[in-house]
Structure formats: C-alpha cells, structure tokens
Amino acid sequence: MAQATAARLITRIVDAQAARGTASVVLTGGRNGNALLAAVAASPARDAVDWALVDLWWGDERFVPAADPDRNAVQARAELLAQLPLDPARVHEMPASDGVDGSDVEAAAARYAEELAKAAGGGSGLAVPAFDVLLLGVGPDTHVASLFPEHPGVRETDLTVIGVRGSPKPPPVRISLTLPAIRAAREVWLLAAGEDKADAVALALSGPGEVQAPASGAYGTERTLWLLDRTAAA
C-alpha cells in the first residue's frame, strides 16, 4: 500500500506543479504515514518532482521538544525529508514545546494558524491554503490528525488549528488541524493498513458522523481517496 500510494503522490505533485508551478502537501505521521515517506524515498520516480517548489505542512504534531524522536517532523526528516533538496522556507513544522510559546499549546496553535493564513494569501473563506494533497492516517478508533472520537477538538468549527489537551493517545498534549481546515484541501487521502484498522474503516464508511468517527468527516473539495490494504479493507 505504501508503494502504491507513493506512486500516486509523486504523480499528483508533478501534476500540481505542471498546473500551478508549485505544490502543497500535508504530511501525516504514524505507522502508515512513515511507511509512505519511506516508499517515496525509495522510489526512482521521486526525481520527477521539483522539491524546491513543494510546500510541506503537517496535519498534527505531538507537543514535545523540537528534537524529540516522537515528533512527526523528526520522523519525517529521518524517513525522507533529509534526502530531498527542499527549500527550508517551504517546510512548515508545527511549533514545539521548547519554542517561543513555551508550554502554551494554544498560543503555539494560533501561531501555526497565522502561518497558514499568511500562505493562503488572505483569500475568502477559511484562512488556509488549498492543499493539493492532505494525508491522514486513520487510527484504530477512527481518529485522524489529533481529532479523537467525542473529544472537544472534533467539534471545532471556527479555528483552523487547535491545541489538544487530554489526548486519549499519548502524549496528552498535541497540535492539530481542525476538520474545517482539512476540508479546505483539494484532495484528502486517508491511509489504513493492517487488520487492526478494519473495524475503524468499516465504522467510518458507514456514515456515523464525525463526532463518533472523525475519519468520516475528513473529505476534500475535489476528491476523497481511501487507500487500504486487503486486511484493512476486510
């Protein structure tokens, strides 16, 4: 699944650059997200992309120190980013707990929201860019980004980025895009591999509503793509 998704992602980035000159991608962490990045790194086709003209964002992040190996950004650099000729100004990591906002996760979330708004150019509607591809891993409980079932963050409608406290999955403090920000993407791709994801996929696709199953509320303006292996699709 990771290899097939990597091929799709490279093609999508090339197409976006052909159409608009640049491309923007929102990365996801976790088992499936990191496997995808490793597959892109191993693909000979990756050189078809002008990586200096790719904007990279994150859907969520663990609010821990910048060098913490649990951070999605640290893992992404290890799997792929360190191997690419990226423009550092186009790599938009979420703030860390040892950054300028210290332990104030709400201020850190607001700082990332400001960065998104600046990149969006002040257009109408939600102040986030129209991402070409927004990647989301689907958790066994149907969570996406750091939006968990029945958790306050999944109900947020006004903010684009939130601080998450009391996450049921450690660490308890995180930063996350909200569902309205996710839905601004042109394409949303949901990744699930492994039999431990099968029940979550079945629930999310049965239409229970985003509060009960956040993955069911994640969709793009042009396309929503579920990428599953056979066990997750069972």
pLDDT tens for 125-150 read 579 999 999 999 999 999 999 999 99
| Gap between the Cα atoms of 47 and 215, Å rounded | 32
Mean pLDDT of 210-215: 97
Closest CA to 229 of 60, 46, 12, 39: 39
Select the more confidently predicted residue: 121 or 100. Answer: 100
- State both tokens at 35: 């496997």
Q: 77-87: per-residue pLDDT in tens?
A: 999 999 999 99
| pTM, two decimal places | 0.96
Residue 96 CB contacts under 8 Å (≥ 6 apart), including other chains: 61, 63, 64, 65, 66, 68, 71, 108
Domain covering 2-228 assigned CATH 2.60.40.1930 in the classification: no
Q: Structural domain boundaries of the chain?
A: 2-228
- C-alpha span between 40 and 47 (Å, rounded): 10
